[in-house]
């Protein structure tokens, strides 16, 4: 049952992240197109880009938190049950790699927010 819960939460979180990232990418492309057509001013585009980067950063923080929570749950379950079998080790390795990937993405989002703030003057 534990494996089913971990897998279900992981898949649900992954699908949610992919959908949210695609929406953010589409919003960024739409903003760039509107700026190119002259529908928005440079200042408005910069503020909108900052909002998109902030949303991306929040998604990264949430994703990192979910992955860390899953990793903690797997470690706690293995410690309580005493079952350091292949499945537990698989989850630990997978979630550790995902944590590193999430943190790298989060650092990039933080950098983009900082750059957008410097450019916007906020």
Provide the residue ranges of all domains of the chain, joining segments of one domain with +. 2-120
For residue 7, the surrounding DSSP H or E stretch is helix 2-37
- Predicted pLDDT at 120: 57
Q: Quick one: tokens of 89?
A: 């080790």
23-50 in b/e form (b: 16+ CB < 10 A) is eeeebeeebeeebeeeeeeeeebbebbb
Which percentage of the chain shows pLDDT scores above 70? 98
Entry pTM: 0.82
- Predicted pLDDT at 73: 93
The per-residue pLDDT for range 53-64, each reduced to its tens digit, is: 999 999 999 999
Distant-in-sequence, close-in-space partners of 52: CB < 8 Å, separation ≥ 6: 24, 27, 28, 31
The per-residue pLDDT for range 81-119, each reduced to its tens digit, is: 887 888 889 999 999 999 999 999 999 999 999 998 987
């Amino acid at each position: 049952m534990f494996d089913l819960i971990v897998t279900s939460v992981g898949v649900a979180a992954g699908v949610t992240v992919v959908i949210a990232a695609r929406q953010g990418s589409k919003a960024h492309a739409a903003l760039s197109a509107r700026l190119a057509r002259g529908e928005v001013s440079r200042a408005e585009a910069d503020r909108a880009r900052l909002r998109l980067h902030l949303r991306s950063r929040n998604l990264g923080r949430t994703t990192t938190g979910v992955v860390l929570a899953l990793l903690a749950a797997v470690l706690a379950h293995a410690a309580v049950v005493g079952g350091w079998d292949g499945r537990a080790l698989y989850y630990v390795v997978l979630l550790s790699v995902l944590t590193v990937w999430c943190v790298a993405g989060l650092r990039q989002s933080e950098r983009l927010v900082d750059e957008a703030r410097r450019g916007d003057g906020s």
